[in-house]
Structure 1
Amino acid sequence: MTKAARIGLGLGLTVLFAFGAWLTWDFVIDDAFITFRYSEHLAEGLGPVWNVGGDAVEGFTNFAWMLWHALWSALGADLVLVAKVTSLVLGAITLVMLLRATEGAGSVVAGLAFVLFLPTYFHANSGLETVAFAAVLLRLVIVAVRVIDEERVFDWEPPLLLLFLGMLRPEGLLAALPAFAVWFWYSRRMPVARWTTVIAAAVGAGYFVWRWFYYGQLLPNTFYVKFGNLEAGAEWVVTTAILLAPLLLLSLALLVVAGLWFKGGLFCLTVVATWLPYALSGPTMDYLHRFAYHVFPVLCLGAGIAVAAIGQRLAATAVGAITVGWVAVAGATAPDLPLIANYGSDLQRAHVAIGRGLAEADVPEDARTLAVSDAGAIPYYSDWQSIDYIGLNDEAIAHGADPTEVVMDARPTVLMVTSYQPGIPDRKYGLNVPVAIAGYEQVGEVRMREEYWQNVYVLPQYAPQVRAALAPKVEEAQRTHDPGRYDLTVDRWLDRLTGR
């Protein structure tokens, strides 16, 4: 491929990437606000805690991501905007890395597969660390590939990338292990490689010991709630394998290509190491294949190298077209796309509006207490002391305590109950709802989308104040964001984009 062709390809892919970012700009996931809450408390000098003054609990799994946003919070920045811009910049860098690490038809396939996979843009705008994790892992794999090709690399870089992956998510250490092992085997005699590895290991160990003593648990609290479902893990593997079948097959094909089998082994082992924790646990909140996406750019790289190795141009074109087409269609037909495509707007008119209303309620500071199942935007925007009765941010519930007893013992001023139909359920996320709301007054029934409501219950002495603050915020949000439309359809998303 000529230099002009590579520049043209890069510009075309950049336009597609920018268009995808625009299409999904209003999306943000509720879980991101959990991390933002910890970041803001840290920026305020109160520590990375869920409730100020309460027991420290690690209700997030992305320590480095939390630190990054704490820095920006200290500067007064909008954390949602920071998260989006950070991920989109890293997504653009990922595209550049893919183009630079491949040649000819391989660059076309790797680049197109990446930019035409619609979930890429939802993950970039979600507020979570998904794209950052994928970008760092890809960079580490590319360094290992360069070492295999006997090209010069910076020997301080892999230990730094390993440390960063482990601090982005705990399972990042496992995902990084194959590429790091390849680099270290080739570079082990280099003094810089040895001492930077020792430094990274010391810093990582120090971080682990600190968080163990600070939070009192070996793993983040969320691991004790979300992980352990082997049956769901097996189903996840099958679904993921079908989704990314051409990318997986092309990476596997490298194992039988002379001169490329070592790279193929690296890609395959990276996929196994990255997906193993999810295969053994059955991840929850896996919207648009979020956890599979961690290694998606690596698979794009493997597919690009495999296509470039096909000697016959017509065959390479056919294989590349099938691969890119499959990935594009699979991403655009994901079963949960209608829900996710409208999620940002729905979150604004329910959870964000409720949180902002509570923040303005004329309730004394010592009475600003809340119990929720959706521990994201509502606690973040209200900044009330919050019980997360799913247990993501509550150690007792995560380790088996009865949510009903925890909530009743705390007797929070506001109790949020999620329901999938008008009215209240008998039990929700382990909470015995009729028992828990006894003595409370309902002041709001806020609809988020089809078959999803947030019911707001308040202690009688504070019900008028909460109702007065909540009602105008909710009414304004319901008028502003897709008024009157709650259908989970791609059409609603497209109508919103076109201003209809």
Structure 2
Amino acid sequence: METLVAGHEPAAESTEPDQPLKRPRRAGQVSAVGAVAGGAALIGGHAALYGNWVVDDAAITFAYARSVADGLGPVLQPGADPVEGYSNPTWLALLAIGRLVGLFDRGAIFGVPDYVLFPKALALLCCAGILAAVHLAAAKVTRRPWALTLLVGAALAVVPSFVIWSFSGLENSLYALSVAALASLLFRAVMDDRLLSPRVALYAGLLVALAALTRPDGIIYLDAYPLLVLFRLTRPMFAVSVRAVLISALACLVPYGAYVGWRLMVFGRLVANTAVAKGQEPPELESLSRVGELIGYGGGLAFLGWAVCVGIALAHPSRLRAALGGVLVPLGLSLLAFCVLAPDWMGELRFATPFWVLVALAGALALPTALRSVSARARLLLAAGLVLATLPSLAVFTTAGKTFRAAPTVPMCLVGEAFGRGVNGYADVLGLREASLLAPDLGATAMSTRLTLVDLAGLADAPIADFWHDKDWRGLRDHVFTEVKPTFIHMHAPWSAQTGLISDPRLETDYHVVVGVDDGVVGGDWVRKDAVPSQEALAALRAYANTVVRPAIQLQQAAPRGTCGPVLRPDQGPTPS
């Protein structure tokens, strides 16, 4: 009767892994710290292979963090209209705090630019947090939780998709941490028979709010707690279950709803401008076939071995069988989110970061029971089979990591050199004090140009976002050529072809070609004819582009994992060759 009043369900048949696992307190703390630090070191070691690379999309948030920290509000650059060109407010907040305390966007630290060091250090801390959540859950199933923690750390360290995007400068690491903490909380709550306690419900809701304010698709995890409660629902506990679900929902929706309300007041939209520009289509049944992308990347044999271990654990009569739902439910939601989201052009399965964490966590928690549940001979066969099943995956991961290392996705420094500092130089040659630039690559450009930016991709430009959402290419072209009339235009495929800007006759009528790109990519640089005072000035601009800007860009192309100096500032010109 006491258990029912407390809001817990009767315990299932007790087995060895469900018994209190007591260890000397100090020894346990030392092993926990060592396992978390060791696993994080493995992940960080892999991340070091990609050097100083930061993807340019991350620099969009960097630019907003600079504006917020400088008291300018949520704008891309000084003087711009407020547009929510970011979709990761919690990550933005961490970066803004870093700038306020002098750790971000201020210069170099130990010779490394802080626009590289600070977000990567945050990512490493988030990875350590993930492993701490793993250790808390592992302590419920084994007397050696450090071993499972190290196992998860090693598993995550070999997956390029996880490491690349966790250390890309984007919010992936914080997002994965919020989801891992949620899964660990739910797992431990079921193991301890306290799933329906108000505290667990409250924390679950707050973690979902953190996930949803870190990435828009994080709101899907709002379903995790109610689903887990539903699976364990009994008639006597109906009222308590409803109360717990309401507490969890309110804990999430109050802070999340407050942000949405603020968004509506400041930006005039219910969703981020980025979501409007990307035009996410309603999901179709065929989207579920994208599961094959994850299996193909991770390896069919490895997933088969994982499924065998989890299956054995689920078949074993213990409290663990119910508790695994605390991980498997979020895992299923992460899989659904990946399938529903439009495929990402950046490669390496950018939206799969939480999936890798939850797969590793579920497998690690199931492994001890799976090994204990079979005979000694079968245990050896199972262990050997698991090792052999991972070998093809390791080969695939090695190739993927080497390929990405050689040609990482859109380095921010390349963008800053080409469209920030480079176009600053164009304006200097022509003696322009005020000018504007239309370009599709926005992040480092916003940090390094003094020109007024017009975002061809629409992420930080509300009118252009609407054109992208409606696929109104004629309207977009009219807007560019008759209303915006940018001083400079840069475009390349696919933006040039999809919008039709490059074939619009007004481009030839109103603009001079500065640089034409003739290497298989349709695009180039243009300048408005009325901004060029003479043919001599045009010749000087073209000469500058070919002798100063192009060599500076080529230097960045030759070192895609390098940096672009200690700071990015709007008054800079191209890096000397």
Q: Note whether the superposition's TM-score is higher than 0.5.
A: yes
Matches within 5 A, 1:203-242: 203-224=255-276, 225-228=278-281, 230=284, 233-242=287-296
The one of 387, 391, 413 equivalent to 1:348 is: 413
Answering whether residue 516 of structure 2 is matched by residue 405 of structure 1, we say no
Matches within 5 A, 1:182-221: 182=228, 198=250, 200-221=252-273
Shift in alpha-carbon separation, 1:419–1:399, aligned structure 2, 3 A: closer
Asked if the contact 1:62/1:169 (under 8 Å) is kept, the reply is yes
Asked if the contact 1:404/1:431 (under 8 Å) is kept, the reply is yes
Q: 2 CA distance for matches of 1:309 and 1:376?
A: 48
Q: 2 CA distance for matches of 1:364 and 1:220?
A: 37
1:412 offset after TM fit, Å?
0.3
Deviations 1:127-156 (Å, cap 9, x if unpaired)? 101111011110111011111111789645
Q: What is the aligned length?
A: 477
SS at match of 1:49: coil
Moved more, 450-459 or 178-187: 178-187
* Letter aligned with residue 22 of structure 1: A
Shift in alpha-carbon separation, 1:71–1:298, aligned structure 2, 3 A: same
SS at match of 2:72: coil
Moved more, 227-236 or 185-194: 185-194
Report what 2:55 is aligned to: 29
Shift in alpha-carbon separation, 1:350–1:198, aligned structure 2, 3 A: closer
1:183 offset after TM fit, Å?
7.9
1:261 offset after TM fit, Å?
2.8
* Letter aligned with residue 350 of structure 2: R
Shift in alpha-carbon separation, 1:100–1:116, aligned structure 2, 3 A: farther
Matches within 5 A, 1:61-460: 61-75=87-101, 77-78=104-105, 79-102=115-138, 103=142, 106-107=148-149, 109-150=151-192, 155=200, 157-179=203-225, 182=228, 198=250, 200-224=252-276, 225-228=278-281, 230=284, 233-244=287-298, 245=300, 246-247=302-303, 249=307, 250-251=309-310, 254-259=313-318, 260-310=320-370, 311=372, 312=376, 313-322=379-388, 324-334=390-400, 338-339=403-404, 341-343=406-408, 347-359=412-424, 361-362=427-428, 367-393=434-460, 394-400=464-470, 401-402=472-473, 403-409=476-482, 410-419=484-493, 427-435=496-504, 437-438=507-508, 439-444=510-515, 451-452=520-521, 455-460=524-529
With CA pairs under 8 Å and 6+ residues apart, which has the higher RCO, 1 or 2? 2
Shift in alpha-carbon separation, 1:242–1:220, aligned structure 2, 3 A: same
SS at match of 2:524: strand
Report what 1:494 is aligned to: none
Deviations 1:17-38 (Å, cap 9, x if unpaired)? 3321211222211211222222
Shift in alpha-carbon separation, 1:235–1:456, aligned structure 2, 3 A: farther
Moved more, 104-113 or 13-22: 104-113
Shift in alpha-carbon separation, 1:261–1:17, aligned structure 2, 3 A: same
* Letter aligned with residue 421 of structure 2: R
Moved more, 28-37 or 197-206: 197-206
Deviations 1:441-460 (Å, cap 9, x if unpaired)? 2333579xx85586221224
Asked if the contact 1:39/1:67 (under 8 Å) is kept, the reply is yes
Q: 1 CA distance for matches of 2:243 and 2:84?
A: 37
Asked if the contact 1:27/1:343 (under 8 Å) is kept, the reply is yes
* Letter aligned with residue 292 of structure 2: V
* Letter aligned with residue 551 of structure 2: E
Asked if the contact 2:91/2:214 (under 8 Å) is kept, the reply is yes
Q: 1 CA distance for matches of 2:80 and 2:321?
A: 53
Q: Which runs of 5+ in 1 are unaligned?
A: 486-500
1:74 offset after TM fit, Å?
3.8
Asked if the contact 1:349/1:477 (under 8 Å) is kept, the reply is yes
Percentage of identical aligned residues: 21
Asked if the contact 1:25/1:125 (under 8 Å) is kept, the reply is no
TM-score, with length taken from structure 2:
0.71
Moved more, 46-55 or 285-294: 46-55
Shift in alpha-carbon separation, 1:364–1:210, aligned structure 2, 3 A: farther
Q: 2 CA distance for matches of 1:483 and 1:150?
A: 52
Moved more, 239-248 or 430-439: 239-248
Shift in alpha-carbon separation, 1:63–1:6, aligned structure 2, 3 A: closer
Deviations 1:29-56 (Å, cap 9, x if unpaired)? 1211222222222223232134655554
Q: 2 CA distance for matches of 1:68 and 1:14?
A: 20
* Letter aligned with residue 315 of structure 2: V
1:389 offset after TM fit, Å?
2.2
TM-score, with length taken from structure 1:
0.81
The one of 42, 57, 68 equivalent to 1:16 is: 42
* Letter aligned with residue 171 of structure 1: D
Asked if the contact 2:184/2:327 (under 8 Å) is kept, the reply is no
Asked if the contact 1:413/1:459 (under 8 Å) is kept, the reply is yes
SS at match of 1:415: strand
Shift in alpha-carbon separation, 1:286–1:256, aligned structure 2, 3 A: farther
Q: 1 CA distance for matches of 2:162 and 2:155?
A: 10
Q: CA RMSD, aligned part only?
A: 4.0
Asked if the contact 1:137/1:295 (under 8 Å) is kept, the reply is no
Shift in alpha-carbon separation, 1:256–1:398, aligned structure 2, 3 A: farther
1:369 offset after TM fit, Å?
1.2
* Letter aligned with residue 46 of structure 2: G
Deviations 1:422-463 (Å, cap 9, x if unpaired)? xxx9x523133032532322333579xx85586221224257
Moved more, 166-175 or 401-410: 401-410
Moved more, 346-355 or 255-264: 346-355
Moved more, 9-18 or 465-474: 465-474
Larger Rg: 2
Deviations 1:255-277 (Å, cap 9, x if unpaired)? 43322332333333212222323
Q: 2 CA distance for matches of 1:365 and 1:179?
A: 58
1:302 offset after TM fit, Å?
0.4
